[in-house]
Amino acid sequence: MTKPTIHFNSRGESGNIFWILGAVKTALHKQRRITDYNNLRDRVTASGSYNEALSIIREYVDLVDDDSEV
């Protein structure tokens, strides 16, 4: 199964980790990967930093920071 792609803006509202988790939840649920999302969510909420959380999320989806391309 291919990884879904999530676009976000790290300097904007969509850079909030909870916004990203919401987008990831939607994408993984569309692929019927509910258990994967639950595992990811638990790992992200236990992570120690924003960058660590993004690293965990990138194991499941492709994250594209549109602010880094400007």
Q: What pLDDT score was predicted for residue 67?
A: 87
pLDDT in tens, the chain (70 residues): 789 999 999 999 999 999 999 999 999 999 999 999 999 999 999 999 999 999 999 999 999 999 886 5
Q: How far apart are CA 58 and CA 52, in angstroms?
A: 10
Residue 21 identity (one-letter amino acid):
L
CA–CA distance, 12 with 32 (Å, rounded to integer) = 29
pLDDT the model gives residue 1: 74
Which residue, among 13, 28, 19, has the nearest Cα to 59 in the 3D structure?
A: 28
Tokens of 19: 């916004």
- End-to-end Cα separation, the chain, in angstroms: 30
Closest-CA residue to 20 (of 30, 5, 32)? 5
